[in-house]
Chains A and B, each alone.
Chain A
Amino acid sequence: MTILEDRPSNPAAGDHDRPIGHGRMQRKEDPRFVRGKGHYVDDIVLPGMLHGAILRAPVAHARLVSIDTTEALAHPKVLAVITGTDLQALGLAWAPTLSMDVQAVLVTDKVRFQGQEVAFVVAEDRYAARDALELIQVEYDVLPPVVDARKAMDADAPVIRDDLEGRTDNHIFDWEAGNKAETDAVFASADVVVTQEIVYPRVHPAPMETCGAVADFDPIDGRLTLYETTQAPHAHRTLFAMVSGIPEHKIRVVSPDIGGGFGNKVGIYPGYILAVVGSIVTGKPVKWVEDRSENLMSTSFARDYIMQGEIAATRDGKILALRTNVLADHGAFNATAQPTKYPAGFFHIFTGSYDLQAAHCTVTGVYTNKAPGGVAYACSFRVTEAVYLVERMVDILARKLEMDPAELRLKNFIKPEQFPYPNKTGWEYDSGDYEPTMRLSMKMAGYDELRREQKEKRERGELMGIGISFFTETVGAGPRKDMDILGLGMADGAELRIHPTGKAVVRISVQSQGQGHETTFAQIVAEEIGIPPEDIDVVHGDTDQTPFGLGTYGSRSTPVSGAAVALVARKVREKARFIAAAMLETRPEDLEWEKGRWFVKGDPSIGKTMAEIAMGAHGTVALPEGIDGNLDAEVTYDPPNLTFPFGAYICVVDVDPGTGHVKVRRFIAVDDCGTRINPMIIEGQIHGGLTDGVGMALMEFIEFDAEGNCLGGSFMDYLIPTAMEVPDWETGFTVTPSPHHPIGAKGVGESATVGSPPAVVNAVVDALAPFGVVHMDMPCTPARVWEAMQGRTRPPV
């Protein structure tokens, strides 16, 4: 274990330079999970419940000629077979996406990606439902697919979205940020310019639990209860109301325990809608749970950015400007999850941790015959892509300048006194002190010693690589004036009630998928009002039980909902002051707070604990004017800005020159997410994200052949690291609080997934430097590394 206990002091951090009280506490969630008593969607069994299964398209692009469901309907255990025609009659054949596009729920006109939903069977058990799929006869008229995003805009490219009025090509959007003229001018006069095409390939979040739902429509009072694997239950409720016509107060969405989300469970998938339709049609609860292949082939993919990167610098290593043109493959429907005004998410954070003179980016989105998605897998709305681009480009520049990549970064960091730092594309970074964090990671790694070792090994013909990534994240979406999802502002609510006996319940609008909210949100409340976290229940995931909010993704829980919870606790604490004053027959301004207790200034022996105040609040004490009974409060938090956590990662790899196999020998990760609520949980978040990074850099890849067949549609092909492919992580931290956040805390959940892939790839490329390799695209599989050593950086597929 390598928690760095002697963390560097940060004078600016002051009181924030320690974890929230109860810091490394054990999780309140664990007792049920270790006993097999978690409550996941597929564990739910309702009386009379039926099972749904989806028939999926075997080809990527084809006109639907006919569907014959006669035989399937004749199956003794089948109750319903739903087709696109049936949905059309209900006005449900198409559903809105989070990107203001529409997505087919079931195919009505033509198939647009392999694995697309064609028909839905409802049967008495899951085996019968699958049997019936094979009894449905479908005739397709196969069309040429668009597989390569680079050819999507060719004049002769087949038009995928002929369902859209007036659409004659596969273009979705163009978007830009920064100042093109200024940037071009800096490039024109720069000493050194390096360019590189960098592909962030299509990967998939692949949570261990796939997506699923149990829909229970009650025809008597018209109420829909929907148990779903959703990261955003309230947003789902609103969208279901808009799509289905069921009034919103008659819809209850319940997100129970979720077996990992990683962005996969943000959007609404056809399966959820089909479960609802199935329940309405049969009058019984309908469960739909997809299998792994369905998850990988049809739910939200991640990345798929083809980036033309350019970086300009002076000869002595002052980075001047960055520019990039991105081609974004969005698949057949634009279902990318992001705030409405940001079709490329927060990609424009691609200026990274460096103080630049100018920057400009353009992003062009195109349709292809692939599954929809894009924003998922801990990407913080495309920050993975942004950080990968800048951290690869800086390394390529370092090579060109023959400078050490650590030295080049240190030379160009934004300085602590520059924060809040307005970057060149419109962000205002809240806080940062990059150099100590970088120095700490180098110290933990023994950086100079590693370079010496590498030199010796190179002389012996051994391939060792050292890769650095220094990233700045942007998480906590976001300020309502700028950020909404389908018109819903990205704020979050919190409600806190103190029961008469001094126990508490806090209700939050975000939804844990393993991040430990039930523990850490109790810790925040405990810190603010002095009730032990064990006495505070955290309620989430049930839209009937919790205040409205936008859910958990983009590492936004701590920045937004965590702030809401701190503020609601302060509101209760302030109310408690007035009640305590009434109980003590004194004035509120004469009371002073110590954790858990209001007491009389100058006489600490006279006071009331929160438990005593709670009883008083529910009792017979005459309360002052304007103070109602009970001890509770609610808030909605609209964040003034996002939070900008950062980190310094160093990866050490050994490459087998005979086979091209890359072994990650060491990985040092120093993260700074401001105030740390629970260091144990943060460490776990980092470990998980680093594993994602190693997976993406070395193994994970969803590929398609020329016919549009998905080649990464199972765990036989889509490889995820096991315990054998990852090292024992070495983690450290610094603390630079967010000045605008009520407790100085920043998000952190996605930092490691964002920050680690460039460290691994930089290490692999560094190891291959003797072969003249400047860049290679992920994943750095043995075959690709071997090819790169032969002088080819783009191996044959």
Chain B
Amino acid sequence: MHINMTINGTDVTREIEPRVLLVHFIRDDLRLTGTHWGCDTSNCGTCVVLMDGQPVKSCTVLAAMADGHSITTVEGLANGTTLDPVQQGFMEEHGLQCGFCTPGMMLTARALLDHNPHPEPLEIREAISGQICRCTGYATIVRSIQWAAEHPVGTAETAATTEEEAVHA
């Protein structure tokens, strides 16, 4: 079947099988491999992307269901070369180790901060409770999201680090 959606601000049109999961569409068809696949029962949340700004587990959405919607993946989280404060926060507060859950965690954090710019630690824990991390023990993820809340988009810290990284890239 024919589908059309916006991925990270770009329109994409593809022919797909109706049964294809959004996670596989994103990874295999669009080659956006930052979105991961960690379970087969919709528990782990490594596949979380934003659909119209809301976090969804893309393993539990058919690509066909995303027809006409706007999807943001981890690759679309930064604004050009400027990192989203959530990305910066995860680096500052060591909110990641193996990095496998990180894209999903960050997208959930982005959605949380978009509707609640100053969440309490318990609110952060609730927000990410649909996601599993095996490495961090969560405390540093909570700190990372708090860091992002304290450093909204465009702060000097975020921009400066990004420029420096851009030079090295």
CB-defined contacts of A35 to chain B, threshold 8 Å: 34, 74-75, 77-78, 83, 87
Give the contacts of A639-686 with B (CB-CB under 8 A). 680-681, 683-686
**Interface assignment of A195: CB less than 8 Å from any CB of chain B:** no
Provide the bound-state CA to CA distance between A514 and B39, in Å. 19
Known: A34-B96, A208-B44. A729 touches B137 (CB 8 A): yes
CB-defined contacts of B35 to chain A, threshold 8 Å: 36
Instruction: Tell whether, in the assembled complex, residue A687 and residue B134 are in contact, meaning their CB atoms are under 8 Å apart.
Output: no
Provide the bound-state CA to CA distance between A43 and B36, in Å. 9
- List the B residue with the shortest CB-CB distance to A686: B137
Instruction: Tell whether, in the assembled complex, residue A728 and residue B142 are in contact, meaning their CB atoms are under 8 Å apart.
Output: yes
- Measured between C-beta atoms, what is the minimum distance from A41 to chain B in Å? 11
- List the B residue with the shortest CB-CB distance to A34: B87
Provide the bound-state CA to CA distance between A723 and B134, in Å. 11
CB-defined contacts of A208 to chain B, threshold 8 Å: 36, 38, 44, 46, 98, 100-101, 132-134
Provide the bound-state CA to CA distance between A45 and B142, in Å. 34
Instruction: Tell whether, in the assembled complex, residue B38 and residue A209 are in contact, meaning their CB atoms are under 8 Å apart.
Output: yes
- Measured between C-beta atoms, what is the minimum distance from B120 to chain A in Å? 12
Name the one of B87, B101, B103, B137 contacting A687, with C-beta atoms under 8 angstroms.
Answer: B137
- Measured between C-beta atoms, what is the minimum distance from B40 to chain A in Å? 5
CB-defined contacts of A680 to chain B, threshold 8 Å: 94
Instruction: Tell whether, in the assembled complex, residue B33 and residue A716 are in contact, meaning their CB atoms are under 8 Å apart.
Output: no
Provide the bound-state CA to CA distance between A37 and B100, in Å. 11
Instruction: Tell whether, in the assembled complex, residue A259 and residue B99 are in contact, meaning their CB atoms are under 8 Å apart.
Output: yes
Instruction: Tell whether, in the assembled complex, residue A514 and residue B87 are in contact, meaning their CB atoms are under 8 Å apart.
Output: no
CB-defined contacts of B124 to chain A, threshold 8 Å: 723
Q: Interface centre among B34, B97, B140, by most A CB within 10 Å? A: B97
CB-defined contacts of A690 to chain B, threshold 8 Å: 137
Name the one of A36, A127, A685, A689 contacting B74, with C-beta atoms under 8 angstroms.
Answer: A36
Instruction: Tell whether, in the assembled complex, residue A207 and residue B106 are in contact, meaning their CB atoms are under 8 Å apart.
Output: no
- Measured between C-beta atoms, what is the minimum distance from B34 to chain A in Å? 2
Instruction: Tell whether, in the assembled complex, residue A37 and residue B38 are in contact, meaning their CB atoms are under 8 Å apart.
Output: no
**Interface assignment of A23: CB less than 8 Å from any CB of chain B:** no
Q: Interface centre among A29, A33, A292, by most B CB within 10 Å? A: A33
Instruction: Tell whether, in the assembled complex, residue B19 and residue A514 are in contact, meaning their CB atoms are under 8 Å apart.
Output: no
Instruction: Tell whether, in the assembled complex, residue A127 and residue B17 are in contact, meaning their CB atoms are under 8 Å apart.
Output: yes
Binary contact readout A41-56 vs B (1 if CB under 8 angstroms, 0 otherwise): 0110100000000000
Instruction: Tell whether, in the assembled complex, residue B125 and residue A292 are in contact, meaning their CB atoms are under 8 Å apart.
Output: no
- Measured between C-beta atoms, what is the minimum distance from A724 to chain B in Å? 5
Provide the bound-state CA to CA distance between A35 and B96, in Å. 12
**Interface assignment of A210: CB less than 8 Å from any CB of chain B:** yes
- List the A residue with the shortest CB-CB distance to B143: A1
- List the A residue with the shortest CB-CB distance to B100: A259
Interface residues on A, range: 35 or more
Name the one of A31, A206, A293, A723 contacting B138, with C-beta atoms under 8 angstroms.
Answer: A723
CB-defined contacts of B126 to chain A, threshold 8 Å: 723-724
**Interface assignment of B52: CB less than 8 Å from any CB of chain A:** no
Known: A257-B99, A716-B43. A36 touches B32 (CB 8 A): yes
Provide the bound-state CA to CA distance between A127 and B73, in Å. 23
Name the one of A27, A38, A126, A728 contacting B139, with C-beta atoms under 8 angstroms.
Answer: A728
Instruction: Tell whether, in the assembled complex, residue A36 and residue B40 are in contact, meaning their CB atoms are under 8 Å apart.
Output: no
**Interface assignment of B151: CB less than 8 Å from any CB of chain A:** no
- Measured between C-beta atoms, what is the minimum distance from B133 to chain A in Å? 7
Provide the bound-state CA to CA distance between A257 and B74, in Å. 17
- Measured between C-beta atoms, what is the minimum distance from A30 to chain B in Å? 4
Instruction: Tell whether, in the assembled complex, residue B92 and residue A26 are in contact, meaning their CB atoms are under 8 Å apart.
Output: yes
Provide the bound-state CA to CA distance between A277 and B126, in Å. 46
- Measured between C-beta atoms, what is the minimum distance from A664 to chain B in Å? 12
**Interface assignment of B118: CB less than 8 Å from any CB of chain A:** no
Instruction: Tell whether, in the assembled complex, residue A36 and residue B24 are in contact, meaning their CB atoms are under 8 Å apart.
Output: no
Number of residues on chain B facing chain A (CB within 8 A): 61
**Interface assignment of B54: CB less than 8 Å from any CB of chain A:** no
CB-defined contacts of B58 to chain A, threshold 8 Å: none
Instruction: Tell whether, in the assembled complex, residue A34 and residue B83 are in contact, meaning their CB atoms are under 8 Å apart.
Output: yes
Give the contacts of B17-46 with A (CB-CB under 8 A). 17, 19-20, 24, 27-28, 31-41, 43-44, 46
Binary contact readout B101-144 vs A (1 if CB under 8 angstroms, 0 otherwise): 11100100000000000000100111011111111111111110
- List the B residue with the shortest CB-CB distance to A1: B143
CB-defined contacts of A514 to chain B, threshold 8 Å: 96-100, 135
Provide the bound-state CA to CA distance between A208 and B35, in Å. 13
Instruction: Tell whether, in the assembled complex, residue B44 and residue A715 are in contact, meaning their CB atoms are under 8 Å apart.
Output: yes
- Measured between C-beta atoms, what is the minimum distance from A421 to chain B in Å? 31
Binary contact readout A700-739 vs B (1 if CB under 8 angstroms, 0 otherwise): 0000000000000011100010111010110000000000
Binary contact readout B73-98 vs A (1 if CB under 8 angstroms, 0 otherwise): 11101100001000100111010111
Instruction: Tell whether, in the assembled complex, residue A209 and residue B100 are in contact, meaning their CB atoms are under 8 Å apart.
Output: yes
Binary contact readout A137-176 vs B (1 if CB under 8 angstroms, 0 otherwise): 0000000000000000000000000000000000000000
Known: A30-B91, A514-B98. A42 touches B37 (CB 8 A): yes
Contacts beyond the supplied A31-B165, A722-B129: 11 A-B pairs with Cβ under 8 Å: A34-B83, A35-B34, A208-B132, A260-B134, A262-B134, A292-B39, A514-B96, A514-B100, A683-B94, A687-B137, A716-B41
29 CB contacts below 8 A, A to B, read A27-B94, A34-B87, A34-B90, A35-B78, A36-B33, A36-B34, A38-B100, A43-B27, A125-B28, A126-B24, A126-B28, A208-B46, A208-B101, A208-B133, A257-B99, A262-B134, A513-B98, A514-B135, A680-B94, A683-B140, A685-B97, A687-B140, A688-B136, A716-B43, A720-B132, A722-B132, A723-B129, A726-B137, A726-B139
Residues of A near any B CB (own CB < 8 A): 1, 26-27, 29-38, 40, 42-43, 45, 125-127, 206-210, 257-260, 262, 291-293, 513-516, 680-681, 683-692, 714-716, 720, 722-724, 726, 728-729
Residues of B near any A CB (own CB < 8 A): 17, 19-20, 24, 27-28, 31-41, 43-44, 46, 73-75, 77-78, 83, 87, 90-92, 94, 96-103, 106, 121, 124-126, 128-143, 165
What 8 pairs between A and B have smallest CB-CB spacing? A36-B34, A514-B98, A687-B137, A33-B99, A259-B100, A36-B74, A514-B97, A715-B43
